[in-house]
Structures are given as C-alpha cells and as structure tokens.
Amino acid sequence: MKRLNKAIRELLLNIFEKIKNLVVNYEDLLKLLFVAILTKGHILIEGPPGTGKTTIAKLFACSIGGSFKRIQMTPDLLPADIIGSYYYDIKKSEWVLKQGPIFTNVLFIDELNRASPRTQSALLEAMQEKQVTIEGTTIYLPKIFLVIATQMPVGSEGTYPLTPTLMDRFAYFYTSSYSRDEVHEISIILKSEELEKSYLSQIIDLDTVSKMGEEVMSIYVSEKVLRYIARIVMFLRNREDILIPPSPRASIWLYRGGKAVAYLEGVEYVTPDHIKWIARFVLPHRIHLKPHYIAEGVKPQDIVEEVLKSVEVPK
C-alpha cells in the first residue's frame, strides 16, 4: 500500500480552513469540492439564489491556482456561446477559433435549467470526455476541469428539466438553502464585509492537484467495501417506487468519492462510513421516482437514508 504524502495533504487542509473562515455553514459543500477536483467529477447544486455558491467556487478556484469563468444561463443562450465558434479574420485571411468560457479550470454555470435542452446538451461531451467538438474539430479541455452548476428548484418558473442523461454526468449533488438560524444569519452579514476586504491567494498549483488525484487513486478499497457499494445500488434498483434507478455511474462515483473522502481524512483505506457520507451526494439526483410516489411526497433523499439504514454494513 502506497504511503500518503502528508505534506501536500496539509496544503489541501490549509485551503479548507482558510475558505471555511470566509464562508458560513458550507463545510459539506467545501469538502465536496475537494472530493470532486480529486476524482475529476462535477457538482450540481440545487437551491435558491443568494446562498454564496459563486463566492465559494471563486475562492476555491483562486486557492488552487486555477482559472475561473462563470456562465449565466438564459433561454436564448446557444451552444456556441459556451463552447466557442470559428470566425473569419479579415486581416489574417483565415478562420480563427474563438474559444468559449468552457475552456477554463473551474467553470461555474448559474441556473443551468434556465438554458434550453439544446444548450444543456452542449455540456455532455465536455463533462464526459473532457473535450469539445466545434465544426468537426475536436479540442481538448484543460487537464484540471471542474464544472460546478446550479439549478433552480425543480418546477420553478421559466426552467427546463434536466434530462436523466445530463443529471447522471454530474458525479455529486448538493442542496443549498437559506439559513433559518439567526446566529448563522448574523455571521453571514459580518462575513460579507470581510469578503469585500480580504483576498484569498493561491496556496497550491494545478500540478499539485494532479499529484493529489494520483494519491487518491492509490487508496485501498477492500472486497467487503466493494460489495457494500454494489448492495446499496442493487437495493435501489429493486425498489418498486423508482422509475429510473441509478446507473453504473452511481457505483463508480461511490467508489471514487469514497477514496477521496478517505484521503481528506488522512486514511489509506476506505471504510463503510466514507461510503455512507458520499452516498448522500452521489445517489439522490440519480433516483427518478414514479409520478404517484412524487405526489405522495416521497423524496429521493429520504430513500437514500432508508437504504443506508437497510443495507447491512460489513464488519
């Protein structure tokens, strides 16, 4: 078993603490950002506006030395507005590629479900293959490429539902909400002024992020934990209330995400508790319920909690 490099992991924990001191009540999302960048996954965040999602994404990109770009989705946005297009340069007398904002390290897509299905589909190749095709030419994206997309709550006015195919491309799903605690609300008010004055400088570089990702791959997963992952997914596939069950990507991201969680905790092997933690962010958006169960108020998050209580934990 490969020994972990504690020095570079300490740098990562340093980032975590610095960002945590600038935002309020977002420890799980911050931890999930690190899991995503280390496993080359993407994150979908559902929630109302004004909850600090853009701020935490910008702070994260800055701290790892990565470029950051933001796209505000609207119904009239075209695929070319995201991936780019060729234009004819009269001075050069040739066709020149104008790259879209997708060519970055951290891409923040605000209100993804306000874009038309055609524009949403432009992200599929980029998220899966780390490349885009423009007029028949394939162009590769940066080695470190993370999509953080937000969506308005399902059913909001002026939104287009994300297809199960696109939802499945997001490794992780997080739900944000407004604080209902007055102490937290006061902290948010005070932190807003602090953010105006402070600047988070680069702490690590993208090469170090790549090395961390390689270390995550070396984390050990026992056969018992592998079976635990498979049983969780099989339990969901055999339920009567689920219309579209989780695909094999659910198993893959439970496996990869569990490794990253173990790495963040400084452990060289994955435990069932690591799988339980990451399951709450890997499974809900992959569970598509039958209509009459939705009408009865059944929620994917409730089913995930039930599954984690029902499937036997290996000793």
pLDDT score recorded for residue 159:
79
How many C-beta neighbours within 10 Å does residue 98 have? 11
Residues 130 and 88 in one domain: yes
How many C-beta neighbours within 10 Å does residue 99 have? 14
Q: Which long-range contacts (CB under 8 A, 24 or more apart) does 251-255 make?
A: 253/39, 253/41, 253/171, 253/172, 253/278, 253/282, 254/229, 254/278, 254/279, 254/282, 254/283, 255/221, 255/226, 255/229
Residues 183 and 49 in one domain: yes
Number of domains the chain contains: 2
Would you say residue 183 lies in a domain? yes
Domain that holds residue 88: 1-205
Residues 232 and 136 in one domain: no
| Closest-CA residue to 34 (of 151, 127, 172, 143) | 172
pLDDT score recorded for residue 72:
94
Rg of the chain on CA atoms, in Å: 20
Would you say residue 213 lies in a domain? no
Q: What is the CATH number of the domain that holds 300?
A: 1.10.8.80
Residue that finishes a domain, picked among 173, 205, 237: 205
Residue that finishes a domain, picked among 154, 174, 205: 205
Residue that finishes a domain, picked among 175, 205, 235: 205
pTM, entire model: 0.91
- The alpha-helical segments, DSSP class H, found in 265-296 are 272-282, 291-295
Our separate counts of H helices and E strands in the chain read 13, 11
How many C-beta neighbours within 10 Å does residue 95 have? 11
Residues 273 and 124 in one domain: no
Q: What angle do CA 63, 123, 101 make, to 5 degrees?
A: 50
Residues 179 and 52 in one domain: yes
pLDDT score recorded for residue 49:
82
Residues 13 and 115 in one domain: yes
Residues 198 and 238 in one domain: no
pLDDT score recorded for residue 231:
97
Asked whether the CA dihedral 165, 170, 171, 172 is positive or negative, the reply is negative
Q: How far apart are CA 274 and CA 259, in angstroms?
A: 8
Task: Kindly report the backbone phi and psi dihedral angles of residue 287, in degrees, each rounded to the nearest multiple of 5, phi listed first.
Answer: -105, 115
Query: Do residues 276 and 308 make contact, with C-beta atoms less than 8 angstroms apart?
Result: yes
pLDDT score recorded for residue 110:
94
Residues 268 and 174 in one domain: no
Q: How far apart are CA 270 and CA 278, in angstroms?
A: 11
Note down pLDDT in tens along the chain; length 315 residues. 566 778 888 888 888 888 888 887 888 999 999 999 999 999 999 988 888 888 889 989 999 999 999 999 999 999 999 999 988 888 888 888 899 999 999 999 999 999 998 899 889 999 999 999 988 889 999 999 999 999 987 666 777 888 888 999 999 999 988 878 788 788 878 777 666 656 677 888 999 999 999 999 999 999 999 999 999 999 999 999 999 999 999 999 999 999 999 999 999 999 999 999 999 999 999 999 999 888 888 899 999 999 999 999 998
Please report where in the chains the tokens 């004004």 appear, as a residue: 50
Would you say residue 35 lies in a domain? yes
Residues 148 and 264 in one domain: no
